[in-house]
Every structure is written in structure tokens, then in C-alpha cells.
């Protein structure tokens, strides 16, 4: 049996890369779902900034940087999401390659939920020429115990 991993062992870990085709029909569906009427989105000229979240549907467990590290999903919260573009958001018809990595981990003491472990995950999206198009930064928080009343 191997020794349990520490928070530092997870920093820098990556999941396998995944392809993410930006399909015009999916952009239109996403645009309707978020309730925008911007004609540039409907035409597929650019995608809404949050469209990269649809890439979750193109990923499997192998694409996750967590590996076999156990997490208690009942005590995991989604704390923050940030979208960084290195140019305009990608248009429909582009195929991106994404790869997620655990960028930072740290702990803080909470008042009701005990120790909170913060994990910052960065997913980079690159185009066919390997140019960095966008980054999605997510912060997750896992509490050590259920919050008290």
C-alpha cells in the first residue's frame, strides 16, 4: 500500500489533454440557455465567455488532474471561476485542446466547517498551432467537517 498523498504532491498534477470542438449548434444552444440575444453569439462569430464550461461534457475521468486522490464531494464547494482570454473568445468552428492542472493548494481555518482546503485548478485551451487561447481558473473548497449551526 502506498503512502497517502499530501496537498503538495497534487500541485502541478495534470490530466490528459482533451479535444473540444466548438460546434455552431452548441454555441446557439448555450446562447439561448444563458438568455443572451447578442447576434455575434447567435451567428457563432465569437462564443460567450462562459461557453468554455461546456468543455466539461468532452472530458472523462482521465482528463482530471485529481487522479486517484480521494475527495469528499459532499464537502466540496465551488468557490470561484475566472475566464482569461488571450485575444477574442474563440469562434464556432474552432477545435481547441484543453488540459487541466492543479495550480495551487492551501488551507485556512474556518469558523464552522473546520479546516478548509482550497484547490485552484487551471484549464488551458490551445488552438491547432498550440497558441494559448484561454484559461479557466476554478477554485474549489473542501471542508474538513460539516458546518455547525
Of all helices (H) and strands (E), which one includes residue 33?
helix 24-34
Q: At residue 112, does pLDDT exceed 90? A: no
- With a pLDDT cut of 70, the percent of the chain lying above it is 91
- Please provide the size of the chain in residues: 149
Q: What is the pTM of this model?
A: 0.85
pLDDT digits (tens, 9 = 90+) for 33-52: 999 888 888 787 889 989 99
Beta-strand runs (E) in the chain: 18-21, 76-85, 95-109, 115-126, 132-143
| Residue of 39, 45, 41, 46 lying closest to 29 (CA atoms) | 41
The Cα 27–Cα 33 span in angstroms is 10
The Cα 122–Cα 14 span in angstroms is 9
Handedness of CA 84, 87, 91, 94 (dihedral sign): negative
Confidence at residue 81, expressed as pLDDT on a 0 to 100 scale: 94
- With a pLDDT cut of 90, the percent of the chain lying above it is 50
Q: At residue 68, does pLDDT exceed 70? A: yes
Q: At residue 114, does pLDDT exceed 90? A: no
Amino acid at each position: 500500500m502506498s503512502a497517502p498523498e499530501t496537498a503538495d504532491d497534487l500541485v502541478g498534477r495534470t490530466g490528459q489533454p482533451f479535444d473540444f470542438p466548438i460546434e455552431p449548434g452548441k454555441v446557439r444552444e448555450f446562447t439561448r440557455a444563458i438568455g443572451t440575444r447578442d447576434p455575434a453569439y447567435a451567428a457563432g462569430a465569437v462564443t460567450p465567455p462562459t461557453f468554455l464550461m461546456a468543455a466539461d461534457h468532452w472530458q472523462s475521468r482521465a482528463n482530471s488532474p485529481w487522479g486517484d486522490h480521494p475527495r469528499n464531494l459532499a464537502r466540496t464547494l465551488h468557490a470561484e471561476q475566472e475566464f482569461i482570454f488571450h485575444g477574442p473568445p474563440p469562434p464556432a468552428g474552432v477545435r481547441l485542446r484543453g488540459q487541466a492542472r492543479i495550480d495551487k493548494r492551501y488551507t485556512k481555518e474556518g469558523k464552522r466547517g473546520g479546516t478548509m482546503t482550497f484547490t485552484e485548478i487551471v484549464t488551458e485551451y490551445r488552438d491547432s498551432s498550440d497558441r494559448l487561447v484561454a484559461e479557466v481558473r476554478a477554485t474549489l473548497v473542501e471542508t474538513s467537517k460539516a458546518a455547525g449551526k
